[in-house]
Amino acid sequence: MAGHMQAYQREFIEFAIEQGVLKFGEFTLKSGRVSPYFFNAGLFRSGAALARLGRFYARAIIDSGIQADVLFGPAYKGISLAASTAVALADQHGRDMPFAFNRKEAKTHGEGGNIVGAELKGKVLIIDDVITAGTAIGEVMQLIDAAGAQAAGVVIALDRQERGQAGDEIKPQSAIQEVEARYGMPVVSIVTLDQVLEYLETQAGDELKPYAPAIRDYRERYGVAKA
Ligand SMILES: O=P(O)(O)OC[C@H]1O[C@H](OP(=O)(O)OP(=O)(O)O)[C@H](O)[C@@H]1O
Ligand SMILES: O=C(O)c1cc(=O)[nH]c(=O)[nH]1
């Protein structure tokens, strides 16, 4: 995949930078690692931005060829992502798919339960922003199992392509690769770190290019083998 970037993937990187979602500098991750870049999907926060974001997810889904019966957005951030994706799939690709999300806390009054929207049945496609340790996906898999449905795969915005961390130990695989192996399903991303790096090294303007070497070093230190 490295070195091959489609136009929409370059546009997505530019869009994420423009929205302040993809930032360069020094950031401490959940794992404790200090990363030269960070992706904060919570900053896609206007109607126009969400509409555009949904089109990128929809495009990645179509490109992946994954077939699914229902879209699922894990609370909280996944909810608006899956909703935007559902709108874009219907508007741009003529695919009107059922859409659901969970509540983090089950509701005991009214309709009750912790799933809102469409029934989870058939093949469920999970839409989220990033996978860090895979915990959120594990929780969604339990919900899908409990409903008697199957998971079709996961679509995220950015694959950081980095090895997992367990205490002091750096694991051989990324959390994404572990999710794929454990659940036997594909995880696709709109873009990968390799593509962000390619963008910075070959296409970015003078104000962003200087961030590339630190990201390359980080990729070499913590990155998984190239696909
Ligand atoms: O692979 P993991 O280690 O689970 O990390 C990734 C998850 O963490 C974040 O959500 P979070 O659980 O913080 O909830 P939020 O969407 O309410 O912010 C993110 O949106 C993913 O769902
Ligand atoms: O590993 C993380 O904590 C993490 C990295 C990143 O780029 N974005 C995010 O939301 N979390």
Rounded-to-integer distance, Cα 52 and Cα 46, Å:
10
Asked if 93 and 60 count as a contact pair (C-beta separation under 8 A), the reply is no
142-172 burial string, b = 16+ CB within 10 Å, else e? Answer: ebbeebebbbbbbbbbbbbbbbbbeeeeeee
What is the rounded CA–CA span in Å between residue 67 and residue 85?
Answer: 15
Query: Is 111 a residue whose pLDDT tops 70?
Result: no
CA distance 65 to 211: 34
Given the CA of residue 74, which atom of ligand 1 is nearest to it? Answer: 22
Residue 225: the pLDDT is 87
Question: What's the whole-number mean pLDDT along residues 190-216?
Answer: 97
In this structure, the strands spanning 150-159 and 123-127 are parallel
Q: In which band, very low, low, confident or very high, does the pLDDT at 112 lie, cut at 50, 70 and 90?
A: low
Q: Domain 7-222 classified CATH 3.40.50.2020?
A: yes
Question: For helices 77-93 and 47-64, what crossing angle results, to 10°?
Answer: 70
Q: Is 107 a catalytic residue?
A: yes
Please report which confidence band the pLDDT of residue 110 belongs to, taking 50, 70 and 90 as the band edges.
confident
What residues form the annotated binding site for 5-phospho-alpha-D-ribose 1-diphosphate?
30, 76-77, 103-104, 107, 109, 128-136
9, 49, 67: which is closest to 189 by C-alpha? Answer: 9
Q: Does the CB atom of residue 79 touch ligand 1 within 6 A?
A: no
How would residue 153 be classed by pLDDT, with cut points 50, 70 and 90?
very high
Q: Which of 38-47, 97-106, 176-185 has the lowest mean pLDDT?
A: 97-106
- Span 146-164, mean pLDDT? 97
Encoded tokens for 162: 């980095």
pLDDT for res 162: 97
Has residue 177 got a pLDDT over 80? Answer: yes
Rg (the chain; Cα; Å): 18
19 pLDDT above the threshold of 50: yes
Residue that the structure tokens 């999907």 belong to: 41
* Domain residue extents for the chain: 7-222
pLDDT the model gives residue 105: 84
Q: Could you say which DSSP state residue 39 is in?
A: E
b/e sequence 114-141, b meaning 16+ C-beta within 10 Å: ebebbebeebbbbbbbbbbebebbeebb
CA of 60 to the centre of ligand 2 (A): 20
Cis status of the peptide bond prior to 76, with omega within 30 of 0: yes
Strand partners, 153: 125
Residue 42 CA to ligand 2 centre (angstroms): 11
Token pair of 39 as six digits: 């992706």
Computed over every residue of the chain, the mean pLDDT equals 95
Predicted confidence at residue 1, as pLDDT, reads 46
pLDDT at 11 over 90: yes
ipTM of the complex: 0.95
Flag whether pLDDT at 3 surpasses 60: no
Q: Is the pLDDT of residue 227 over 90?
A: no
